[in-house]
A and B are shown apart, each in its own frame.
Chain A
């Protein structure tokens, strides 16, 4: 069949060689089809940027750079400034990282360097299962379990002992930056720890053997391994940051959704993603919708760059030794 097709469709010699180096028309069609699908991926990314940019043109033109530094978000007066959302996004993500980075490093070290194999596999699976819980479920649990718990037990404790810091002052409602940060921490921990595990596993055993041979203790050996995987670990943390920045439902449900900037972590706040989730379907007027889509554009660009940096860092460590890429 292929031979018959080859005779019926005489292609210029050069084009044929590009399409199918093997000289088979079926191969040419197959390669072309697969290439078209791969090209589609590229087009999707380009289309995302173009669609978000073109639909936020009104707001981009109207506010320019003021959009990022303006503090006022008033749909009635049609004044849109996103500073409070940028603040809420950054602070809640930072709280998440402060909690989850040590936790994730501990988990990864335990699973790769210390736990016996029969333990590390099932426990690793359980930790990864945290990532399988949907955002909205974290939100539900956050509203009815975590927020009351923080309000009754953790927040009063923090205020009592650290209340001299402006960070831990103010009315305690259980709904606010801290609760959002804690929920985010739980959500990014499985992601960071999974990537750190991959990175630690990619560090060659010769490094461990060399350290042990020089008389290092087990803990000192672990430090050597950590130093070896440092760029990958940095990548893992940045990957977690990207995830925290873009997380929507769980944060929306516990952060309070108020566009205010306050030093206190007990205070309600608002993130870029939450504003979009809450106000998108209610947006009346072209400028309002355009401003919300611009928030989406900012979110897209920030997470894209953050993820790109993270992937490059992780690849640097894992590619050298195992060749294959890391699991997403």
Chain B
């Protein structure tokens, strides 16, 4: 039976290898410097993903500004304060929020922000991504704070520090590297999101022009090119995928490398 279970594992790892090698092979052929800095052009004239790269960076930055502080604060609440029934409810809601389809998050932000502003915007896209980020950051923060030894807290309390100083000055720095890796994983996760951006950030053919305007992103660009009927755009979709996957894989490998000792 061992060979059967080993076969299952081989199928999964093999699929990963096949997918990654296709991305590398097909992506590398259209990857040029011009492609990385140009804006999209009509079929037959080349064009690139410069604006999409900048757009994705802006969206990620916006989502980090909102998502990481809120996520960390929620995690601190869950680990240090909310050990009662209310904390359990919040923990449960956060766990179920991670399972809410990202497209529903997009519809929610559309109803909440886009309808009010009357147009698509980078801001709406960033907030949609932040909503996906918060539960991930919150739960890793909680787990990491729980790993901080109690003696550290007791030592600080014994010196007469109030709880807020113990938490902010002693516990959080001790859990800092773990929280940082959690945040990095959250960034990797949302950088691949497409569905919540379709009708919040929408997309654009130009370099970003302020956060209240629609904005391009790598993922939406890949989607639009992939479902287009043109071979040239298909090739560009593979090249853009290679760029996106390099970012995501390097974050995942870095996190793996950094947390090697702990896990």
Complex CA gap A327/B226 in Å reads: 33
CB distance from A285 to the nearest CB of B (A): 15
Judge if A134 is at the interface, Cβ distance under 8 Å.
yes
Judge if A76 is at the interface, Cβ distance under 8 Å.
no
Query: B188-204 interface mask toward A, CB cutoff 8 Å, 1 = contact, 0 = none?
Result: 11011111001100100
- Cβ contact of B13, chosen from A126, A138, A242, A246, cutoff 8 A: A126
| Cβ–Cβ contact B95 & A307, under 8 A | yes
Complex CA gap A244/B79 in Å reads: 31
Near B by CB (< 8 A), chain A positions 284-328 give 292-293, 296, 299-300, 303-304, 306-308, 310-311, 324-325, 327-328
- Cβ contact of B164, chosen from A26, A138, A141, cutoff 8 A: A26
| Cβ–Cβ contact A110 & B73, under 8 A | no
Complex CA gap A133/B8 in Å reads: 19
| Cβ–Cβ contact B2 & A110, under 8 A | yes
Binds A, one of B35-43, B46-54, B82-90, B148-156: B82-90
Given that A103-B8, A137-B241 are known contacts, is A24 also in contact with B226, CB under 8 Å in the complex? Answer: no
Query: A88-116 interface mask toward B, CB cutoff 8 Å, 1 = contact, 0 = none?
Result: 00000000000000111111011100110
| Cβ–Cβ contact A38 & B12, under 8 A | no
CB distance from A316 to the nearest CB of B (A): 13
CB distance from B236 to the nearest CB of A (A): 11
Near A by CB (< 8 A), chain B positions 139-161 give 139, 143, 146
| Cβ–Cβ contact A243 & B99, under 8 A | yes
Judge if A198 is at the interface, Cβ distance under 8 Å.
no
Query: A237-268 interface mask toward B, CB cutoff 8 Å, 1 = contact, 0 = none?
Result: 00100110111110001000000000000000
| Cβ–Cβ contact A106 & B5, under 8 A | yes
Given that A30-B167, A55-B111 are known contacts, is A141 also in contact with B162, CB under 8 Å in the complex? Answer: no
| Cβ–Cβ contact A102 & B104, under 8 A | no
Judge if B252 is at the interface, Cβ distance under 8 Å.
yes
Closest partner residue, chain A, to B237 (CB atom): A140
| Cβ–Cβ contact A52 & B12, under 8 A | no
| Cβ–Cβ contact A328 & B135, under 8 A | yes
Closest partner residue, chain B, to A186 (CB atom): B15
CB distance from B135 to the nearest CB of A (A): 7
- Cβ contact of B136, chosen from A107, A325, A328, cutoff 8 A: A328
| Cβ–Cβ contact A253 & B227, under 8 A | yes
Query: B248-259 interface mask toward A, CB cutoff 8 Å, 1 = contact, 0 = none?
Result: 110010001000
Complex CA gap A193/B138 in Å reads: 23
| Cβ–Cβ contact A24 & B163, under 8 A | yes
Closest partner residue, chain A, to B76 (CB atom): A34
- Cβ contact of A277, chosen from B198, B237, B248, cutoff 8 A: B198
B-side contacts of A138, CB under 8 Å: 19
Near B by CB (< 8 A), chain A positions 63-87 give none
Judge if B77 is at the interface, Cβ distance under 8 Å.
yes
Judge if A165 is at the interface, Cβ distance under 8 Å.
no
Closest partner residue, chain A, to B99 (CB atom): A307
A-side contacts of B1, CB under 8 Å: 219, 222
CB distance from B92 to the nearest CB of A (A): 7
CB distance from A192 to the nearest CB of B (A): 11
- Cβ contact of A40, chosen from B70, B139, B188, cutoff 8 A: B70
| Cβ–Cβ contact A324 & B143, under 8 A | yes
Judge if B230 is at the interface, Cβ distance under 8 Å.
no
Given that A276-B103, A296-B107 are known contacts, is A44 also in contact with B131, CB under 8 Å in the complex? Answer: yes
A-side contacts of B81, CB under 8 Å: 31, 34-35
| Cβ–Cβ contact A281 & B202, under 8 A | yes
Contacts A133-B16, A134-B248, A193-B12 known; list 14 others, CB within 8 Å.
A24-B163, A51-B112, A52-B108, A130-B12, A130-B16, A134-B194, A245-B101, A248-B103, A280-B198, A303-B101, A304-B99, A307-B96, A307-B98, A325-B139
Identify 5 residue pairs between A and B in the complex whose beta-carbon atoms are under 8 Å apart, listed by A's number: A34-B73, A51-B112, A107-B9, A132-B188, A135-B193
